[in-house]
Amino acid sequence: MDVTPAYLTMEIGATVFFMLAAWRALRRGRLPFLELVSAAIFGLLLEQATQVIFETYEYSTEFVLAIDRAPIVIGLTWALIIAGAMRITDALGVRGRYAPVVDSVLAIMLDLAFDAVAIRMGLWTWRDIGPDQGWFGVPAGNFYAWVFVTLGFTLFTRWLRHAAHGRPGLGWLQL
């Protein structure tokens, strides 16, 4: 198996960022750590399921670590984006009922920039859409998915934060 240095560097870099985020989350408590880990698992499972069910895109074969069709680093970056959006929303003091919407807006802002660049780097390829279609070659459905997936994940996560307050055993539901 030939390893492309650029992919290896990217995967190691994202993994280091994830490990730093996990360490910082664990310092804040078990629930923030579980939130980050569950976001990574969720992202990885969602990527795998989306490719199997819809077959609208595929990842480059250059990724070093993957579980079937989904590169592990993609799940880790999902977690970094979603957890990062939630941390920003929390730091801004956004009221609880609006926080999942703000989380989704922050996540989609990142994805609007990342996806158009990532497809040009060859990280993944969309089927049935050219580089001059959609949003710089990315179909609108991808962005709808990011909004609703982030909204659903953060609604549950924020509800669980509230429910687990004073009942730490509930935190394990995050997984």
Instruction: Calculate the alpha carbon distances from 63 to 60, 73, 81 in Å.
Output: 6, 9, 20
Query: Residue 155: which domain range?
Result: 5-174
- 64-123 residue pLDDT tens: 999 999 999 999 999 999 999 999 999 999 999 999 999 999 999 999 999 999 999 999
Q: What is the pLDDT of residue 131?
A: 87
Confidence of residue 169 (pLDDT cuts 50, 70, 90): confident
The candidate with the shortest Cα–Cα distance to 100, out of 132, 148, 63, 62, is 148
User: CB of 131 within 8 A of CB of 119?
Assistant: yes
- 114-158 residue pLDDT tens: 999 999 999 999 999 988 999 999 999 999 999 999 999 999 999
Q: What is the pLDDT of residue 21?
A: 98
The number of distinct structural domains making up the chain is 1
User: CB of 69 within 8 A of CB of 52?
Assistant: yes
Residues 25-51 as b/e (b if ≥16 CB within 10 A, e otherwise) read beeeeebbbbbbbbbbebbbebbbebb
3-state secondary structure 77-136: HHHHHHHHHHHHHHHHCCCCCCHHHHHHHHHHHHHHHHHHHHHHHCCEEECCCCCCCCEC
* Tokens of residue 19, six digits: 């490990």
